[in-house]
Structure 1
């Protein structure tokens, strides 16, 4: 952490806080006008500086005992980007799902199997999911602007929410309704013959038994999905170790890396869907009853819709501004309250503003005997302590109260 009275080249804005009124900064190209009447040069396009970070008292010319206090951002780089592991998880899943989609659709055209069509919808959904997640990653890297002073880190949460609602849910509903329709019609034999897709009849002749073709496709898809799942699981395991989460349940409810969580969930559901399709198709082959195949499609659709709702709920908590867990907040509060010179912690709040990026605000009452320079130093020590406790803490705003 760099602390220097003369550092202004990386400062985005300087704000004058009064008791009842705050003069907002005025955007003017690469400069920001400040309440103090001077102009600070800021670089919004710098890859290392995307938003304001830490605040402190500026100097003795602005009395902390009066009604006006000037707070200046400190120079500290903020990165609104995912860990390289998370991006790798998405790319691996995208490549795998694109290939799997083609294989499954080919299997459906050969057999007309409802379960294979349901799995095709599933893989189309997964492929679209990865594209949206990558769009979210890119959007989250946009630099801070006047209208978005904290950057665009929450873009990942929004695009992941679209994944759950528009694609996961839609694909689940389509698979479910197709399976129910096939059940009512008595099912479809796993054999070479015409397949119905979007009202079009397609009749392909397989050179070998279609059943074995479908089974080979399912096992091939399982191999790809297992690889993608292992990548997502490895990244989630890494986060569990870093943040000391007890298991998947805690990781699912507390992680801010919604991209990895979505990929992990997709791959897990994909493996379950492949198992359901294999069981349904095999049962139809053994018993001669096509209802098992159609029932497998219903199961796949149900799985997709259930996990779509679960992911939507997890995205909602981050979109509306979730805080750190109570245990972590307790540690941060203790660090502030136990600091020399702190009389009382009047208010303390945290919020995720991006993947692995937390904003901390605090109203701190200091010993009235302290002078401005002492409080300035205390604030710097407090923010360093908070960042040292949890690496996700990237922005700290402290309002001194006397």
Structure 2
């Protein structure tokens, strides 16, 4: 699924997190729960993250220019990386500070049905958003495991929203047990501990997302299957004797830069080599629409020099 196709999922998460944040802050103000306050901050951060992703998608659609001849596709990767930083700094950092502060200086948490009502409503909204994100993620798995799918995905919106929503649901569950334990025992320490656990969940999510988006930002090769098919397509041309390097890099979720070195038949003329190169360009563009930039280098290859 292309990044553009995930905007519905992002908008759903945006509106859900915005509405949930307001209710969480109201519940925190009424009851004094630090866990609810941390969850409110979490929802505000997630709301901001959706804006970052939408802005990244918009920026990535800009056409190529003299300053950026390969386009702006990687803008999406940059803003997805910023999402990871936001989750870690603003989300995990603030929740951790709030939790430790409440552990050192406990304050009374008033028992109230408001906390449970807000948590229940928030969980329903998050579940709906999570389901939409999961369906999009499932469509891209193609029989692969979850970790492998995330690692091979070139569209960060596929897994960023999913893992954000997963962290949000885990945070709600932790907040529920923290509020419940505090109400049953009268000890606010449980509420503070829940806040600390929420910080840990956010930190782990942020690190995982940062690792995956960093790989995309610095440049990842196309899927190995695509590389193999590119090699086979060029090798099949009658004018090609051998294929050497097939080097690829994603410039965006649906933009691949490919550089292929090919050894052409020495018996054909230079004009025939040009014709073969033009023919290969048309064949590759027809079979691989994501290959937006294709460079074919004609050179003599020694036996055993072919590589991926």
TM-score by length of 2: 0.91
Residue 150 of structure 1 corresponds to 70
Size of the aligned set, in residue pairs, is: 300
The alignment's C-alpha RMSD in Å is 2.0
Kindly state the Cα deviation for residue 89 of structure 1 after the two structures are TM-superposed. 1.3
**Alignment partner of 2:138 out of 232, 237, 240:** 237
| Structure 1 Cα separation of the partners of residues 52 and 273 of structure 2 | 46
The structure with the largest helix share of the pair is 2
Q: 1:325-366, CA deviations, whole angstroms, 9 ceiling, x for partnerless residues?
A: 334323322332343221222322000001221111111110
Q: 1:147-195, CA deviations, whole angstroms, 9 ceiling, x for partnerless residues?
A: 101110100011111111134432111101211121222x44431xxxx
Residue 9 of structure 1 corresponds to none
**Alignment partner of 1:346 out of 214, 234, 244:** 244
Q: Which range moved further: 376-385 or 230-239?
A: 376-385
Residue 305 of structure 1 corresponds to 203
Q: Show structure 1 runs of 5+ residues with no match.
A: 1-80, 192-209
Residue 156 of structure 2 corresponds to 258
**Alignment partner of 1:227 out of 128, 134, 140:** 128
Kindly state the Cα deviation for residue 383 of structure 1 after the two structures are TM-superposed. 3.8
Residue 263 of structure 2 corresponds to 365
Kindly state the Cα deviation for residue 384 of structure 1 after the two structures are TM-superposed. 4.7
Q: Is the 8 A contact 2:221 2:247 kept in 1?
A: yes
Kindly state the Cα deviation for residue 289 of structure 1 after the two structures are TM-superposed. 2.3
The structure with the largest strand share of the pair is 1
SS at the partner of 1:218? helix
Q: Is the 8 A contact 2:21 2:44 kept in 1?
A: yes
SS at the partner of 2:112? helix
| Structure 1 Cα separation of the partners of residues 63 and 298 of structure 2 | 29
**Alignment partner of 1:190 out of 86, 96, 109:** 109
| Structure 2 Cα separation of the partners of residues 271 and 212 of structure 1 | 19
| Structure 1 Cα separation of the partners of residues 113 and 276 of structure 2 | 71
The 3 A distance-change label for structure 1 pair 384 and 226 is farther
| Structure 1 Cα separation of the partners of residues 272 and 136 of structure 2 | 43
SS at the partner of 1:323? coil
| Structure 2 Cα separation of the partners of residues 105 and 274 of structure 1 | 14
Equivalent positions of 1:34-49 (< 5 A) are none
Q: Show structure 2 runs of 5+ residues with no match.
A: 301-308
Kindly state the Cα deviation for residue 135 of structure 1 after the two structures are TM-superposed. 1.1
**Alignment partner of 2:53 out of 113, 125, 133:** 133
TM-score by length of 1: 0.70
Q: 1:265-316, CA deviations, whole angstroms, 9 ceiling, x for partnerless residues?
A: 1111000100110111111122222221111100111111111111111111
Q: Is the 8 A contact 1:189 1:284 kept in 2?
A: no
Q: Is the 8 A contact 2:241 2:264 kept in 1?
A: yes
Of structures 1 and 2, the larger Rg is shown by 1
